[in-house]
Amino acid sequence: MLDIKFIRENPKVVEEGSRKKGVEIDIELLLSLDKQKREFLQKIEEFRAQKNKANEDIKKANKEEKESIIKKMRDIGKESEKFEEKLKEIEKELNKELRKIPNLPLEEVPLGQSEKDNKVLRREGQIREFDFPVKDYLELAEKMDLIDIKRAAKVSGTRFGIIKKEAAYLHFALISLALEITQKYGFVPLLPPVMIRPEMMEGMGYVERGGDEIYHLEKDNLYLIGTSEQIIGPMHSGEIFNEKELPRRYVGYSSCFRREAGSHGKDTKGILRVHQFEKVEMFSFTTPEKSKEEHELLLSIEEELMQALEIPYQVVDICTADLGDPAAKKYDIEAWMPGQNQYRETHSTSNCTDFQSRRLNIRYKGKEGVRFTHMLNGTALAIGRIIISIMENHQQADGSIVIPSALRKYLPFKEIK
């Protein structure tokens, strides 16, 4: 949520920033509601002043005067109640309009109309030249019985997979590597719940647009999380950090759930785009002055993990139209997938500035008083997609898969045969 004072003083900036994200807002309606709210608040304050004066007058009044003053106070009270009821309606409507406004993109974010306008910043790692026909991960998995799509479909339907045998060991080794590397930077490990209350999900800014991606358990009025960042962020809702406690860094491991609405026909086979997947996610609370620096740190950790796994990748600067509501700036990392002959997204990291903290009332106290924190998130490892990357990049001519050296200490094998 944006600061109403900022919106009031910069309506054109807010309108243009929203438009860059492909969101049309009714700024005139919002400003009208804001004006009405302030007028009603002023009137209610006048009623309170009249009540206070009447209370003082009643102390000095005789019996007859007291009765007249009491009647006047009752009349003031009735009028005040009407205004307070109307104020609640206006505040509800204003809050609804405020929540329609996305976070504004930072000035350096590239302009764009769709994901096609995202900008590749650099490519890292050596793309391997194979001297044998390259297989995609599904061919490799089927041959070695590592991923069972058919039985997953039998019990759960499409867009599910059962990870088996050495691939299951690899899954847990990847978690260990992510925890080892993030520990160096002071990340506190978490195993968060995978269900979240609606008001907390709304506070993170994922419901107004993109709500069709979320699984809602109607009977319990809970959502299933699409990433652990959605539940780590609200952990400190309504709290005030001491500035010395920042940055506060967490790394959470969880199952994640997404409907994959609108992706019909895209990657329907295999485990690249599924309804349930596992992910290690980084999250950080910091000061506004340090959030850009923190964002670059999250990106550097993601790159450190990819380099440890010996997977070629490219870093992508996400354009305005592809940012999503909460993010002011976002980077993606896309891994080279030789079996598919293309780069595919494996990581993202977003600076959401104070957009989420305003909604959740997460602040910190420093020399300049109490201010809203900045909140950032970044993928450490999306387990399924990294397993795919390892299988395709480290396959051998005989059909085996060599395990990257960084993972071997966590595993009872050095290759999958």
CB 199 within 8 A of CB 233: no
Residue 292, in any domain of the structure: yes
Q: What is the CATH number of the domain that holds 203?
A: 3.30.930.10
Give the pair of three-digit tokens for residue 327.
Answer: 């993010």
Residue 80: its pLDDT value, please? 81
Instruction: Say whether both 126 and 229 belong to one domain.
Output: yes
DSSP letter at 410 equals G
CA–CA separation, 395 and 130 (whole Å): 9
Is position 385 annotated as part of the catalytic site? yes
Q: Which one of 71, 98, 125 terminates a domain?
A: 98
3-state secondary structure of 378: strand
User: The CATH number of the domain where 12 resides is what?
Assistant: 1.10.287.40
In this structure, of 160-164, 181-185, 261-265, 292-296, the range with the lowest mean pLDDT score is 261-265
Q: What is the pLDDT of residues 47-99, one digit of tens each?
A: 788 777 776 666 666 666 766 777 777 777 778 888 888 899 999 999 999 99
Axis crossing angle, helix 291-308 with helix 165-183, rounded to the nearest 10: 140
Among residues 128, 273, 371, 408, which one is catalytic? 273
Catalytic entry in 363, 385, 389, 392: 385
Residue of 345, 371, 408, 415 with catalytic role? 345
**pLDDT, tens digit, for every residue of 396-411?**
999 999 999 999 999 9
SS3 339: coil
Asked about 89 being catalytic, the answer comes back as no
Which tokens hold the place of 386? 């990294």
Q: In the annotation, is 258 catalytic?
A: yes
Question: Tell me, what's the pLDDT at 43?
Answer: 86
Which tokens hold the place of 153? 């479909």
User: Does residue 124 sit in the same domain as residue 83?
Assistant: no
- Decide: 135 and 343 in contact? Cβ < 8 Å: no
Among residues 159, 248, 258, 359, which one is catalytic?
258
User: Mapping DSSP to helix (H, G, I), strand (E, B) and coil, where does residue 217 land?
Assistant: strand
Q: Residue 59 has what pLDDT?
A: 66
Helical packing angle, 165-183 and 137-144, nearest 10°:
120
Each residue's pLDDT tens digit, 342-397 = 999 999 999 999 999 999 999 999 998 999 999 999 999 999 999 999 999 999 99
Is residue 176 in some structural domain?
Answer: yes
Domains held by the chain: number: 2
- Say yes or no: 410 and 311 in one domain: yes
103, part of any domain: no
Does position 46 have pLDDT exceeding 70, yes or no?
yes
Least confidently predicted of 75-89, 220-234, 301-315: 75-89
Q: Provide the domain limits for residue 325.
A: 115-416
Q: Give percent above pLDDT 70 in the chain.
A: 95
